[in-house]
Amino acid sequence: MIKLLIFDFCGTLAGCGMADYGRIADKLRDFNLAVSDDDISKLGAALSGFLVESNNWDDLTNKTIQKLGIVLEKDRREQLALFLEKRLSGKLYDDARDVLDLPQKKAILTLSNKFAVSGISQLRHFEVFSPEITGAKKPDLKAFLAVLEKMAVNPDEAVMVGDNLENDILPAKAIGIKAILIDRENKIKVKDGEIIKISSLKELKKYL
């Protein structure tokens, strides 16, 4: 009997496209700051790490400011924090709504920090597990085992749903969790019968 559904976040429940760094540069230039294209390129390389390391959007904003070597007054820091939250937050896929009312307990195992996920009101009933909570990053098996322990279920009572074979599917299968690959654009090739593959979360219910 399946008691727990574990979801990856970006690419599975939500679209998390790369930020438009040009828009970030424009926002900073609105503050009359001299920000070069090279500065923005360096920031782009660092932002994914900031999303993992930061405690909240204000913390991420402070790291961004430090990376660029600029100074902002409090009100402009707040404006930038709101801007970055809007630009970097994931947007739920339409089919994600089909899993909200499923009766099983639900968890999200993500490489992003918890604050980047927990602000989405539709996911308020999902337990969010980020690297600072599990003490490990996917595909480390410790991350998956931490979810099972916290949610008090056995591997054969859980299902992992993700869009990445290496980070989501293979490690879940390695510890006995049923794994389902979501591949909306049918780009990932798998052998028939080896891995369950769906193209929409609307299909998930029939595998539970």
Q: Can you tell me the distance from the alpha carbon of 147 to that of 134, in angstroms, rounded to the nearest whole number?
A: 7
169 with 120, same domain?
yes
pLDDT of residue 99: 95
Name residue, tokens 């006995």.
176
Residues 170 and 121 in one domain: yes
Choose between 73 and 36: higher pLDDT.
Answer: 73
Check which CATH number belongs to the domain holding 188 and give it.
Answer: 3.40.50.1000
- Same domain as 115, residue 83: no
If pLDDT is split at 50, 70 and 90, which confidence band does 18 have? Answer: low
Are both 28 and 101 inside the same structural domain? no
Domain boundary among 88, 105, 136: 88
Chosen domain end from 68, 88, 108:
88
What is the number of domains present in the chain? 2
What beta strand segments (E) does the chain contain? Answer: 4-7, 14-15, 91-92, 105-109, 127-129, 158-162, 178-182, 196-198
Same domain, 203 and 119: yes
Indicate the range of 49-58, 61-70, 157-166, 176-185 predicted with least confidence: 49-58
**Domain check: are 44 and 110 in the same one?**
no
pTM: 0.81
> Each residue of 138-180: pLDDT tens digit?
999 999 999 999 999 999 999 999 999 999 999 999 999 999 9
Of 114, 65, 107, the C-alpha closest to 90 is: 114
Residue 4 pLDDT class (50, 70, 90 cuts): very high
Confidence of residue 20 (pLDDT cuts 50, 70, 90): low
Residues 71 and 157 in one domain: no
User: What torsion, rounded to 10 degrees, do the Cα atoms 42, 167, 10, 148 define?
Assistant: -130
Q: How many residues belong to the chain?
A: 208
Q: Tokens for 140?
A: 């480390």
Are residue 83 and residue 127 in the same domain, yes or no?
no
Answer whether 88's CB lies under 8 Å from 115's CB.
Answer: no
Structural domain span for residue 64: 21-88
CA–CA dist 106, 185 (Å, integer): 25
Interval 66-91: pLDDT, tens: 888 888 889 988 988 888 887 777 78
Instruction: Please report which confidence band the pLDDT of residue 19 belongs to, taking 50, 70 and 90 as the band edges.
Output: low
The verdict on 70 and 131 lying in the same domain is no
CA-closest candidate to residue 177, choices 193, 190, 195: 195
Residue 46 confidence (pLDDT) above 90:
no
Let me know whether 8 and 41 are in one domain.
no
63 and 115 in a single domain? The answer is no
Burial of 95 (0-12, 13-18, 19+ CB in 10 A): middle
Of the three residues 54, 70, 88, the one that is the final residue of a domain is 88
